[in-house]
Amino acid sequence: MRETRTWNHHVVKEGNKSLVLEMIKNQCPISRAAVASETGLNKGTVSSLVTDLLEDHLIYELGPGKSSGGRRPVMLLFNGAAGYTIGIDLGVNYMLGVLTDLNGNIFKQKELSFKNLSYSEIEQKLMDVIDFLTAAAPESPHGIIGIGVGVPGIVDKSGDILLAPNLNWKNINLKTVLETKYGLPVIIENEANAGAYGEKRFGAGKDCENIIYVSAGIGIGVGLILNGFLYKGSNGFSGELGHMTIQVDGPKCRCGNQGCWELYASEQALLAKAEKLDLSLPENEELNLANLVTLADSGNQQVIELFNETGNYLGVGINNIINTFNPEQVIIGNRMASSNKWLEEALNKRVASQALWFQQSELQINFSELSTLSAALGVAAFSIENFLSVSMQPKSLIL
């Protein structure tokens, strides 16, 4: 019985400590008395837990605050500079890494482009980015607390990459490779899930509880925020809607299916069609999305029509998703979001004409507020939450 009581005591303390930290994090500056009043915990318990959090450097004191009649209280604040995390969006032809504090504020970022690299070459570039961001981290009590990586593929619950068709990856255990090299907790997540979470925490989705995030890059992935929580499915494989069929007898996709949505509405599809046009590009520059946006801005009607066609196909898939999930908000992110000026009209026209009328009531369709940073910030947030969760455990239970 004594063991059971001890275990229950640890569980209760862990829950209370997490509750107090969350209260301070979300409502700082706040006094001990206010924390006790808001959480319903007694003042002695709050005082003890605050002492633990101060010793862990997760909060700090700033005082005194305004008095409500007695002595002016010492105010408590969350210490976002207690540690730093690295979040990386690993795309098919690019890599974007960010170094953030525990509030998700970006202190350094690194971006690079590549084309047709092998797994080992991408792995080396990934480590180079991690090393660069690690070296840029300011001194802090906890240092680098974890690494998060978003990948364009199917990731299981243990973090194994089962399939990333646009990278030609299958059964890749990147998590173990990085944990072995850096000795830090590593989170591998599907980049669309990461992007959805990044938008919910820091971007256009902060005020909505049911969000569909469409990551439109070389391929298309979808992240689902349902009732305020990231939905990953029973095995972690939800959101592979870039591979839903929108053309039964369409061309074959790398996933093995035919007529997939991403074959018509992705950056890859846009560039493939643009290559068939006689376009005038700056000397020694390859055709890319930025060049196409520049040509559209300059009035090139062929390119404008190409964006309209792509926006229309984006609308076809989004229409199917709206009719399935009845979301409050659809957010289009990743690299194609930079083309919103040229995609938006055709996309909205398609949704307005085909989505069921009652689905459109109070529906918002937005482009990402975080530009290309959604996924990197999302995996950084996962890493931060993992660190804080472990920090709440009594030290005697942390192995």
What are the distances in angstroms from CA 244 to CA 30, 237, 253, 320? Answer: 49, 14, 11, 10
Among candidates 254, 257, 307, which has minimal Cα distance to 277? 307
Give how far the C-alpha of residue 398 lies from the chain's centroid of Cα atoms, to the nearest Å.
28
pLDDT of residue 199: 95
What does R_g of the chain's alpha carbons equal in angstroms? 24
Which pair of tokens denotes residue 343? 């995609």
Counting residues of the chain whose pLDDT is more than 70, the rounded percentage is 93
Is the bond into 29 cis (omega within 30 degrees of 0)? yes
297 touches 339 (CB < 8 A): no
**How confident is residue 390, by pLDDT bands cut at 50, 70 and 90?**
confident
258 secondary structure, DSSP code: B
Counting residues of the chain whose pLDDT is more than 90, the rounded percentage is 68
368 touches 333 (CB < 8 A): yes
Mean pLDDT of 22-48: 89
What are the distances in angstroms from CA 48 to CA 7, 16, 45, 231, 312? Answer: 19, 11, 5, 36, 58
Which pair of tokens denotes residue 18? 């997490």
Residues present in the chain in total: 399
Mean pLDDT of 383-390: 93
222 touches 333 (CB < 8 A): no
**How confident is residue 28, by pLDDT bands cut at 50, 70 and 90?**
confident
Give how far the C-alpha of residue 181 lies from the chain's centroid of Cα atoms, to the nearest Å.
24
* Mean pLDDT rounded to a whole number for the chain: 89
Q: What angle do CA 221, 226, 229 make, to 5 degrees?
A: 95
pLDDT tens, position by position, 145-202: 999 999 999 999 889 999 998 899 999 999 999 999 999 999 999 999 999 999 999 9
Which pair of tokens denotes residue 391? 């920090």
CB atoms within 10 A of CB 63: 11
211 touches 328 (CB < 8 A): yes
Mean pLDDT of 316-321: 93
What are the distances in angstroms from CA 360 to CA 332, 346, 356? Answer: 17, 16, 7
**How confident is residue 69, by pLDDT bands cut at 50, 70 and 90?**
low
**How confident is residue 283, by pLDDT bands cut at 50, 70 and 90?**
confident
Which strand (E) or helix (H) includes residue 287? Answer: none
Name the burial class of residue 42, with classes exposed (0-12), middle (13-18) and buried (19+) by CB atoms within 10 angstroms of its CB: exposed
> Which amino acid appears at position 221 of this protein?
G
- Pairing of the two strands 329-333 and 211-216: parallel
